[in-house]
Structures are given as structure tokens and as C-alpha cells.
Amino acid sequence: MSIDLVEKTLDQVYSNNALCSMDVLWLTGEPLVLGVPYFRQVVDLCLEKAPPNMRPQFIVQTNGTLIDENWCDFFTSHDFIVGVSVDGPAIIHDKQRLSLLGKPSFPDVERGIDLLIKKGVRGGAICVITKATLSLPPDELFRFFQEKNIAWSYLLEASIGDNKSSPSALTADDLPSLDRYLDRLLDLWAAHPDSYIRDFEQISRRIFGGAQPRPDADNLGCLDILNVSANGDFYWGNPELMTATLGPLTDIRFNLERDDVWRIRSNPKFTAYQHQVHEGVKQCREQCTYFEGCQGGNPAHKFYEFGSFDVTAHTSCRLNDQLVQTLMTRKLTIAN
Ligand code: SF4
């Protein structure tokens, strides 16, 4: 994104006096190819233009291969949170993530992770779980992250949308294997209080964490996330909908050169989409016993499976949210 466009984006975003906190997140592709000087320029602008008393939190999702001392110094000096995409030990990671030249990427990723840890950069790892992962014993996957002492979360690659033709994507047929896999991961997580698997932490806090404020349906559905592409196109919603906004959801894609990011929230095309997302969350709240732990799921997963947001159960939530909650409550019942 040109620096001009970065400035234009910030001017629009910061024009809202009600804005009191903001995360700036770089993701998709490999953001670090832009280099430290570019990042420094953007971060400086974000800080210079920010309203008084508001400091954005900077976050980047990277494959980790380009990380060096220079990057680490930059990250620590601006308190970045760095997420590294790593799918476990080499034996599984290199099955899923080869370099552009078709070479194993694990050695570079691991070097990057180790440097981030050594330099005390805040962050964690994101691990994509596919059919291939299920061939690796869960103990080995857990041990990999545990030995590195890093917080991690996982994403299940479900057979929906673009992943439909992927042979490694998980389907409903994988539910029994996934049940055993996550069951063992839960045992390991519970047996190691120093481990951190974000998905388990989040769900357990929601369902066992005592009295919590009722989630506000207006804030569910990821509609407070502004996604801006390098050409100035933008939309509000889940980042995973980016591809869909180039096709069936083109109506909710706007451009900074013509449109204002805040004013577009009252555009009828946006409000119709917002209504449909909220309707899906409402149906989940009214009909699903897993709502408390899941809070209505990821709208993108609903859309990629059904072409609509106002639906409830879908493959991804059956393979993860519903399954993990069932396993957790089953374990608690046994423990009692
Ligand atoms: S588990 Fe599925 S059906 Fe239930 S609340 Fe979550 S997304 Fe909705």
C-alpha cells in the first residue's frame, strides 16, 4: 500500500471521535517482504496521527522466514505482537508449507521463531490442522509447542469454500479421528498448566469462567474489523471474506478514493449484510446449546458453506466449537 493511501486510511479511521482503541494488523501474503523501513514509516504515521490517549496495538502475522535481529529490534521497540504460521514439527510443517521454490521452509521458520523468543518479542504461533496433521501423534504436536514454550492456537482446514477441492481439508467424516485427536490435546493441555492453547483457553473461560457479561450480539460477527487492501479497496467484516468480496460479496467492497470508511456503515448494502450476519448470530443464540462457548461462530465459515450468513450449524463449528465443548464438559463430568 502506498504511503499516501496509508495516510488517507488513517485520516478516515481517526476522524471518528468515538474511536478509543485500535489494533493494526498485517496479514495475508507475507507482510515482512515490505521491509523494516516501510513498516517503520507506517507505524510512525499511525502513532503521529493517533488521537491523544490512544495508542494502537500493532500485530503482524508472518511465515517467520524473514525474521532477523533487525526485525526483532523493531518489533520490541514498538511492542508488536508477532504471530508465526507454523504447523508443528518439520515432518508435518513441510508437508503443508513449502517455499516458493518448493523447498522445505521449516528450518527458516524455526530459526525465526527461536530468534523471536530469544529477543523477547511478544506473540505466538498459529497451526493449521489438516488431515495430514492427524497422522502425527497429538503428543508430538503438543510437545513441539511446549518445548518452544510458545502460546499457540490452531485453525482447522475444513472442506468449505476454496478448500473444498483440497484433499487435506477436513470433512464431517473426520469427526471421529478429530474427536480422539482433540481429546488427547485437551488432556495434555490440562496436565500442563504452563501450556497455552488459545482456543481451549477461550472456550473454557467462556463456559466455566463464572459469571460473564452476556455477549452483545451487535459486537459479534466480526463487523468491527476494517479490512483494507493495497489498492484502497475496503470492507467491514471477517478477514477470511476477502476472496468472497471479489466475487459474490462485491457489494460490500468499497474504495477509499470514493467512499468513507465510517459513512459506508450506513450504506444500505452494508446494513443488509450486517443484518444478515446479526440474524445468524441471533439464530445461533436462540437455537444452539453451544452458543455460550462459541458465540455464533465465524460468519465467513457460514458464508463459504451456505452462501449466506443467517444460518446456524456448519461444518467448521461441528468439527471444532461443538466438539471441544462436548469434550470439555464430558471431562468435567467424569472428574466430578
Ligand atoms: S456451535 Fe455452530 S450453531 Fe452453535 S452457536 Fe456456534 S456457530 Fe452457531
* CA of 306 relative to ligand 1 center, distance in Å: 14
Shortest-distance atom of ligand 1 to CA 301: 7
Q: What is the mean pLDDT of residues 280-293?
A: 94
Shortest-distance atom of ligand 1 to CA 314: 2
pLDDT at 167: 85
The tens digit of pLDDT for each residue in 258-278 reads 999 999 999 999 999 999 999
DSSP, res 126 = E
pLDDT at 216: 60
- Residue 115 in contact with residue 62, Cβ under 8 Å? no
Q: What is the mean pLDDT of residues 227-242?
A: 96
Cβ(56) to ligand 1 under 6 A?
no
Q: What is the mean pLDDT of residues 194-222?
A: 79
Other CB atoms closer than 10 Å to residue 172's CB: what's the count? 11
Parallel, antiparallel or unpaired: strands 226-228 and 233-236: antiparallel
pLDDT band at 98 (very low <50, low <70, confident <90, very high): confident
Angle at 68 between CA 28 and CA 147, to 5 degrees: 85
pLDDT band at 217 (very low <50, low <70, confident <90, very high): low
pLDDT at 213: 57
Asked whether the predicted pLDDT for residue 230 surpasses 80, the reply is yes
Domains, the chain, in order of start with CATH, read 3-208 (3.20.20.70), 217-335 (no CATH)
- Residue 142 in contact with residue 185, Cβ under 8 Å? yes
What is the number of residues in the chain? 336
- Identify which of 294, 319, 325, 326 to mutate to test ligand 1's pocket (most ligand atoms within 8 A of the CB): 294
The tens digit of pLDDT for each residue in 64-87 reads 999 999 999 999 999 999 999 999
pLDDT at 139: 98
Cβ(309) to ligand 1 under 6 A?
no
pLDDT band at 149 (very low <50, low <70, confident <90, very high): very high
Shortest-distance atom of ligand 1 to CA 283: 8
| Nearest in space to 123 (alpha carbons), one of 87, 77, 75 | 75
What strands lie across the sheet with 233-236, from one edge to the other?
226-228, 233-236, 254-255
* CA of 158 relative to ligand 1 center, distance in Å: 15
What distances in angstroms separate CA 296 from CA 136, 211, 280, one per listed residue?
31, 19, 7
Q: Whose CA is nearest to atom 3 of ligand 1?
A: 313
Please tell me the least confidently modeled range out of 138-142, 155-159, 240-244: 155-159
Q: What is the mean pLDDT of residues 38-44?
A: 98
Q: What is the mean pLDDT of residues 18-38?
A: 94
* CA of 328 relative to ligand 1 center, distance in Å: 16
Cβ(305) to ligand 1 under 6 A?
no
Cβ(220) to ligand 1 under 6 A?
no
pLDDT at 332: 77
pLDDT band at 94 (very low <50, low <70, confident <90, very high): confident
User: Which alpha helices (H) appear in 90-155, and where do they start and end?
Assistant: 90-96, 106-118, 138-148
| Nearest in space to 31 (alpha carbons), one of 8, 65, 5 | 65
pLDDT at 1: 94
Cβ(60) to ligand 1 under 6 A?
no
- CA quadruple 16, 17, 18, 22: dihedral positive or negative? positive
* CA of 283 relative to ligand 1 center, distance in Å: 9
> What are the grid coordinates assigned to 52, written together?
491523544
pLDDT at 212: 60
Asked whether the predicted pLDDT for residue 228 surpasses 90, the reply is yes
Q: Whose CA is nearest to atom 7 of ligand 1?
A: 297
**Torsion angles phi and psi, residue 129, rounded to 5:** -100, 125
The tens digit of pLDDT for each residue in 291-321 reads 989 999 999 999 999 999 999 999 999 999 9
Other CB atoms closer than 10 Å to residue 74's CB: what's the count? 17
pLDDT at 132: 93
- CA quadruple 192, 196, 198, 204: dihedral positive or negative? positive
Q: What is the mean pLDDT of residues 194-223?
A: 79
What strands lie across the sheet with 122-129, from one edge to the other?
23-26, 57-62, 81-85, 122-129, 152-156
Residue ranges of E strands in the chain: 23-26, 57-62, 81-85, 122-129, 152-156, 226-228, 233-236, 254-255
* CA of 313 relative to ligand 1 center, distance in Å: 5
* CA of 290 relative to ligand 1 center, distance in Å: 6
* CA of 245 relative to ligand 1 center, distance in Å: 23
Cβ(182) to ligand 1 under 6 A?
no
Q: Which residues pair with 158 in a beta bridge?
A: 170
- Identify which of 220, 287, 291 to mutate to test ligand 1's pocket (most ligand atoms within 8 A of the CB): 291
Asked whether the predicted pLDDT for residue 20 surpasses 80, the reply is yes
